[in-house]
Structure 1
Amino acid sequence: MAACIFFFFIVLAHSSFASAIPSPSLELVQTSCQHATFPKVCVNTLSSYKGPVSTPRELAQAAIRVSISRATKASEYLSSLRKEANEREKGAMKDCASQIADSVDDLRKTLGELKELKRGTFRWQMSNAETWVSAALTNEDTCLDGFKEVGGMVPSNVKRKVTNLAKVTSNALYLINRLDHP
């Protein structure tokens, strides 16, 4: 009985803590996302983001975190599909998973740069961030192209996952481009 009561309080405390994590203001998200490449995706992903976001810089960081999370999951998913793929698709699947893993690395470097923006090196840091997110987008596009090169069709589940990732990443690049000071 005591264990049940203890468990109940742990669950209650966790749910109270989880609901105490602020989400970004809907106004900030809508204003920031209105001219994004994929505005609906931008609003949907960032309005449900759990974490403190009250500035455009924090929103850009949140967008990168969302991209990192989605890219990590996509890479793991692609790796798991390799076992089921036919011989022709296995190589494309492996390359695609590797390219998405490279995207994760680029996005992590971007997040690190955005966390450390300084007045004296702001333009240089922004150039780095923009380059890395652009490279991540290129990796995502190249991932899908690899299936066509082996004469196969891109499996619809792979195309959907990678295309969604590219939309989220494109929106993150847009939000980074909107930053104008450290």
Structure 2
Amino acid sequence: MDEDPDLFSACQGTLDVGLTSAQSIVNYLSSIPREADPRAVVALNDCVEAFGTAAGRIRSSLKQMLLLSSPSSPSFRLEINNVLTWITGAIDDGDTCTEGFKEVVEGPLKTDISNRAEDYKKVTENALALVRTVAEKQAP
């Protein structure tokens, strides 16, 4: 990845922010008492799982980005496609969380979680766009 170190650094930085965001959401959701509406409890538990999975996918993406083969290597395309798949999955995980709250009564908790999930999604979509740029620029 010596071809464009600034782009590579931007990818890593954005993925780091996405990972921190996902982990922060898991910590926040885990700290919320489970005494609310039963639908909210189910949605909270599902969100903890979804964002935990998202964090794992982003972590895998970061590791793969650090270990990317040279763009001229036959394995480069597979490796970068893995990263794209994992980031897309991480975005979907966040969407799964917000979908789970559709049946929950409007209120501060639902709004707060929706806002956090939306911020996470923006950062993660930026990471996806940057990795796509790497894939396009480095494609043999």
> TM-score, normalised on structure 2?
0.85
SS for the counterpart of 1:101 is helix
Instruction: Return the letter of the residue paired with 2:57.
Output: D
Determine the C-alpha separation between the residues in 1 that align with 2:78 and 2:92: 21
- Match for residue 138 of structure 2? 181
**Residue pairs, 1:34-73, within 5 angstroms:** 55-73=6-24
Contact 2:87–2:128 at 8 Å: present in 1 too?
yes
Unaligned runs of 5+ in 1: 1-53
Aligned positions, number:
128
The answer as to 2:89 corresponding to 1:138 is: no
Decide which structure has the larger Cα Rg and report it.
Answer: 1
* Distance change (3 Å), C-alpha of 1:87 and 1:109: same
- 1:81 aligned to 2:32? yes
2:117 aligned residue: 162
**Structure with larger RCO (C-alpha < 8 A, sep 6+):** 2
Q: Which runs of 5+ in 2 are unaligned?
A: none
Verify the 8 A CA contact 1:82 1:94 in the aligned structure 2.
Answer: no
The ranges of structure 1 where at least 4 consecutive aligned residues each deviate by more than 6 angstroms after the TM superposition are none
Say if 2:104 and 2:110, in contact at 8 Å, map to a contact too. Answer: no
- What is the RMSD of the two structures over their aligned residues, measured on CA atoms? 1.7
Q: 2 CA distance for matches of 1:178 and 1:136?
A: 18
Q: Given the two structures, how large is their TM-score scaled by the length of structure 1?
A: 0.66
